[in-house]
Amino acid sequence: MTDLAAKVEEFLAAHPTEGADPVQWLGARFDAGLAFVHFPVGLGGLGASRSAQQAVDEAFLAANAPQPNPAAPVIGYGMAAPTILKFGTDEQKQRFLRPLYTGEEVWCQLFSEPGAGSDLATLATRAVRDGDEWVVDGQKVWTTMGHVARWGILVARTDPSLPKHQGLTYFLCDMTDPGVDVRPLRQITGEAEFNEVFLSGVRVPDANRLGAVGEGWKVATTTLMNERVTIGAHAAEREDGLIGAATKTWREHPELRTPGLHDRLLRLWVDAEALRLTAERLRQGLAAGQPGPEGSAAKLTFATLNQAITGLDVELHGEQGLTYTDWTMRRPKDADWANRDAGFRYLRMKGNSIEGGTSEILRNIIADRILQLPKEPRGDVDIPWKDLPR
């Protein structure tokens, strides 16, 4: 870390932060290997350990360094980048990783479908080979930031005669191509972070296929495991985020305090700190390889804890707790949850137990892959997808 710290200081000396253009500054940071420091040299990294990333990021934050487009990190950094690094060709890595990091190109995820959410492997979007291209038809749903994304990570069915997990292929889809129709989905908060996406005769070059034909589930699993770590085990300081908002309310409004609420706040504070420390240990453990099922446990805890904290926060606000002052019906470019009013936070966190893998599915993963409990009986694993009832 001493060498990395020196590299950060040297970079900051050569690239002043005040008044810097964010895209150009972040591009220089990528070229210096100080973007994803655990990535290889030439791809935004220095071949360092994953655990070094947090220290580097904190050093740049302390220097008030330019940050990327707020819409870029969640899917681009947390899901697309590690998947492209693992399965992409040299050309794909060179083409996509730098503009992904600088925020010039925002990414979205084209996985879930109206009939294939929790059981993603049953998805029906088809991709048919036509020379050097694939023609894609289907519908995706719950596509976060699809309205601002340039690229989408797409899983489609390329062989319906195979069992559901075996006939899938993974693509990188240009969201500006003809046939891509993005429509907003309005949430209970009044906003539309999510979208449904209709794909009608979209032609995807075979050069934008990620991994081998028929190995889409293998590639998608890497994406999903990274997604759960990104959501549930992100880096945080003590009392960051929602628990910080609840404790702020407690300190500023002594008239709302009761012994019962105090006890609940203390328990939730301890739970939030335990999750923060567990997440830090999980991220350090990733230095040895790709994320495993532990990310599912972190994401499950993240969802249930957020909902409990925001429920308490509403009570701490008394009769003003459900007042929601911002019904602008907007399409946000970021998700600034902690700094919105309590009513917004309470409503928005209901989605945590659905997005990034439902809590029910995550419990199944924990039971199967961590606790080694007997698997649930499944009768559709070896049946060709085209013969499955729908």
Burial 330-346 (b: 16+ CB within 10 A, else e): eebeeeebeebbbbbbb
Decide: helix, strand or coil at residue 150.
coil
End-to-end CA distance of the chain: 54
Name the H helices within 88-151: 90-102
| 229, 282 contact by CB (below 8 A) | yes
Structure-block tokens of residue 286: 């990733």
Would you tell me how many other CB atoms lie within 10 Å of the CB of residue 129? 12
Q: How far apart are CA 340 and CA 143, in angstroms?
A: 23
Q: Which of 227, 273, 319, 360 is catalytic?
A: 227
Bridge partners of 179? Answer: none
| 53, 1 contact by CB (below 8 A) | no
> Do you know the residue count of the chain?
390
Question: Catalytic annotation on 227?
Answer: yes
Residue 33 carries which DSSP code?
T
Q: Positive or negative CA dihedral for 45, 38, 229, 279?
A: negative
Q: How far apart are CA 111 and CA 139, in angstroms?
A: 10
Q: 339: which residues sit within 8 A by CB, 6+ positions away? A: 245
**What is the set of active-site residues?**
227
